[in-house]
Amino acid sequence: MDIATIIGIVAAFGLMLMAILQGGGLGMFIDVPSMLIVFGGTIGVALINYPLADILGAVKVAKKTFLYQETSTNDLITQLIEFANKARKEGILSLQALIDSVDDQFLVKALQMAVDGQEPEDLKTMLNTEIEYIQDRHSKGAEIFLSLGTISPAMGMVGTLIGLVQMLQNMSDPSSIGPAMAVALLTTFYGAVIANILCNPMAGKLKTRSKSELLQKTIIVEGMGSILSGENPRIMEQKLHAFVAPSERESSFN
| 182 pLDDT higher than 80 | no
124-158 per-position pLDDT tens digit:
999 999 999 888 888 888 899 999 999 999 999 99
What is the rounded CA–CA span in Å between residue 47 and residue 87?
51
The percentage of the chain sitting over the pLDDT mark of 70, rounded to a whole number, equals 98
pLDDT for position 28? 82
| Close Cβ partners of 226 (under 8 Å, ≥ 6 residues apart) | 84, 235, 236, 239, 240
Phi, psi (5° rounding) for residue 203?
A: -60, -40
Angle (CA) 244-247-251 rounded to 5° is 70
What is the rounded CA–CA span in Å between residue 37 and residue 129?
42
pLDDT for position 39? 92
pLDDT for position 247? 82
The shares of helix, strand and coil residues in the chain, as percent rounded to the nearest 5, are 85, 0, 15
Can you tell me whether residue 227 is helix, strand or coil?
helix
Can you tell me whether residue 117 is helix, strand or coil?
coil
6-36 per-position pLDDT tens digit:
888 889 999 988 888 887 778 888 888 889 9
| 63 pLDDT higher than 80 | no
| 188 pLDDT higher than 70 | yes
| 165 pLDDT higher than 90 | no
Terminal C-alpha separation, the chain: 34
| 41 pLDDT higher than 90 | yes
pLDDT for position 1? 63
pLDDT for position 194? 93
What is the rounded CA–CA span in Å between residue 110 and residue 171?
70
75-112 per-position pLDDT tens digit:
889 899 999 998 888 888 888 888 888 888 889 999 99
* 18 closest CA partner among 26, 7, 27, 29: 26
Domain boundaries, the chain: 1-30, 31-254
